[in-house]
Amino acid sequence: SERAVEDPATGRTLPIIVVGGDERPRPLALISPGYRVPPGEYAALAQALVRRGYVVALVQHDLPADPPLPTGERLLERRRPFW
């Protein structure tokens, strides 16, 4: 199921896909794809974890309207405002 969570530090609403849940308690596996990688790219891994009894949450950190991340030198300093 698709859900969303608000990041209180930035006010951004981030989409989360949750698969494999039911009423029973289960361990949680969190998949956090890299920059510009949609969570759907990890569908096979998510389904494999669900078959093994996990609930899987896939987080989409970057949104379509986000500007590209800076590249080049001093990445930590230049990307900090985006985090």
pLDDT score, position 40: 84
User: Which of 23, 70, 29, 69 minimizes the C-alpha distance to 50?
Assistant: 29
pLDDT score, position 28: 95
- Tell me the average pLDDT across 28-42: 86
**Share above pLDDT 90 across residues of the chain, in percent, rounded to a whole number:** 30
More confident residue, 24 or 81: 24
Q: β-strand 55-59 against 2-7: which pairing, if any? A: unpaired
Q: Is a pLDDT exceeding 80 seen at residue 36?
A: no
